[in-house]
Amino acid sequence: MKIVMLGAPGAGKGTQAKMIAAGYGLPHVSTGDIFRANVKGGTPLGMEAKAYMDKGKLVPDELTVRILLDRVAQDDCKNGYVLDGFPRTIPQAEVLDAELSKMGEKIDFAIDVEVPDENIIRRMSGRRACVNCGATYHIVHIPPKKEGICDACGSELILRDDDKEETVKNRLEIYHKQTQPLIDFYNNKGVLKEVDGTKDSAAVFEDIKKILG
């Protein structure tokens, strides 16, 4: 069972990807993790990617797909995997599709975790992180016992730049421009499934389980 996770930043697709991986015994394949592992391990693919990253350039789609295919060719992926963070664009999806096709394989499900932008902005701008131990809170859903202070170590809590409203809006704009067309791409392939990501994560996972069977 080969699954692609779709959804805007902050929609909770990473959380669902991990829950699917744990629940179905599939590897959770995050492109960020693969890049870091290849660069850290000094693999030929990692060194190739690092050359682009060191110059502040984006890693080309073709190389990203090669790194991804190298990961999914490993033994633990033989029964399937959950892709998190890839593909992000139509060209990436097309290259992935073509390469899987050569191996007689295809994506079985593209699961889109749907959350309205205003919910995401509220969700992310309410996050707070500890400057010392990295513990995370939410001013509405998981507030600290004392406002602005970490329960775990007593250090100050901050709103990270990534979670500021303006940054979140910019990220959503990029998502809608680049990634939203993927929804049509997978819909045309007949593998798109949408779930309501405004529910709590356990309820979203229940909906996903009904889809996957």
Catalytic residues: 13, 88, 127, 160, 171
CA-derived radius of gyration, the chain:
18
| Pair 82, 27: CB distance under 8 Å | yes
What single DSSP character describes residue 142?
A: B
- Angstrom distance (rounded) from CA 1 to CA 204: 19
φ, ψ for residue 154 (rounded to 5)? Answer: 80, 5
* Three-state DSSP class for residue 3: strand
| Residue showing tokens 């890049």 | 35
